[in-house]
Amino acid sequence: MRLTARSSFLYSLVLILIIAGTFVLTVAADTTKVNKPALPADAASVLSSRTIRLIEIDAPITPVVAEYIIKSIDRAAKAHVEALIIQLNTPGGLVDSTQQIVMKMMASEVPTVVYVAPSGGRAASAGVFITLAANIAAMAPTTHIGAAHPVQMQGKMDETMEKKAVNDLAAMMRGIAEKRGRNAKWAEDAVRNSVSITETEALENKVIDLVAPDIPALVKAMDGWTVEMVIGKRTLRTSGAEVEKITMGFRDKVLGIISNPNVAYILMILGFYGLYFELSNPGAIFPGVAGAICLILAFYALHTLPINYAGLMLIILAMALFIAEAFITSHGILGVGGTISMLLGSVMLIDSPVPALQISWAVIIPVVAMSALLFIITVTVAVRVHREKTDTGREGLLGKQAEARSDLNLTGQVFVHGEYWNARSNEPVHKGEKVAIVGIDGLTLIVRKAESSGK
């Protein structure tokens, strides 16, 4: 059903107000999440000495996760808490995001504790850097750490580039381990040889500082530890400390969801379809507005992901071919090309060794299938319309039957479609007989006796 201009404007306005209101509430919730009423200096000192903050990271290391960890460190420092515990379970992530987190942890004014948990969890790839950068590194039983060899996101690196990347990250890992007094040789091997070890082996090899079954046990074990900070040494007093769990704010959760490769991919496709429906039905407005919003959100997400631009261009080409199919009669060639281009582009769009940073086949196949189905429906309707005889206007009269309203002795009148027409026949036709319209000469119909009206 076609939307009127007024209803389209109202739909668009409501959508924009909802999105604007959501982000306003998000910012407000995010800024008030960890703020507490001001206390006198002495009371604040007592409270801070008995407070530990806890955040949980159970996701790949992306720019959104990096921003969340960095904010958490800054807020913990401002609140003068005893320590910040980062409960970590990650398959790895992006090098740039990892470097940002490590730099912040190395320069942190609040002691940072990385706890690889829960049981069965891991600190792989980027997680190794973050764990070793902590003032105190701990692991839960039946967890493992390692396999930090770099992998190029957009295909296999050549030998020279791989050597440079490995040497750079190995030097970074060795520097972190030496600064924190941990096993630098193993840390370097984790990068060069992708070695991985359990929590027991990590403790024996001095990769971590302790093994704890849960957070209370970790807090108890940390009491009395002296850690090296940028501002000097600090002894932790965690006995009886209150653990304050800080959950990710609504804003960060939304950005995290959007940054999911599958969600970003779907948003991008919806955005292109919104523009497609707007161009194929000019004036609808709402599809265009909704499509533009989806595209902006998708491009934000793709900016945070290791995308392959060849894949992105193939998807854009696919949508261009689908749009062209709606306006150009190509007998399906443009549509088939668009389907193939979308399939190849979807497969190439994100090529990451981390499964959580890949587009799932369970998403790619339905999206491409729906796109192909839309193309098939569009082509089928176009072919049917092309084959159907015109049933309006003068051309729609050809082949129709009419009734003679007067004797046709060369000329006379016939009645068809509720109208009287002047008619001409090369054979006599009596009033009331059925005639078939075989031609049009100006405003005169050329007729002959219908086969059913014979003798």
User: Whole-prediction pTM value?
Assistant: 0.66
DSSP 46-97: HHHTTEEEEEEE-S-B-HHHHHHHHHHHHHHHHTT-SEEEEEE-B--B-HHH
Residue whose tokens read 């793709």? 302
**Residue 361 token pair:** 């086949």
**CB 93 within 8 Å of CB 121:** no
The most distant pair of C-alpha atoms in the chain lies apart, rounded to whole Å, by 120
Burial, 14: exposed, middle or buried (Cβ in 10 Å; 0-12, 13-18, 19+)? exposed
Q: Give residue-wise pLDDT tens across range 270-293.
A: 888 888 777 767 777 888 888 889
Mean pLDDT in residue range 350-374: 77
Percent of the chain surpassing pLDDT 90: 35
Q: Is the pLDDT of residue 129 over 50?
A: yes
- Which residue, 93, 92, 143, 94, is CA-closest to 115? 143
C-alpha to C-alpha distance for 68 and 255, rounded to whole angstroms: 11
Residue whose tokens read 């009734």? 403
**Residue 195 token pair:** 């070695």
pLDDT of residue 22: 44
Q: Give residue-wise pLDDT tens across range 394-450.
A: 666 777 889 888 888 888 899 987 788 889 888 888 888 899 888 888 788 888 888
DSSP 28-53: HHHHHSS------HHHHHHHHTTEEE
Q: Would you name the residues annotated as active-site residues?
A: 125, 164
Give the number of other CB atoms < 10 A from CB of residue 360: 12
C-alpha to C-alpha distance for 279 and 291, rounded to whole angstroms: 11
Q: Give residue-wise pLDDT tens across range 292-322.
A: 898 888 888 777 677 788 888 988 888 888 7
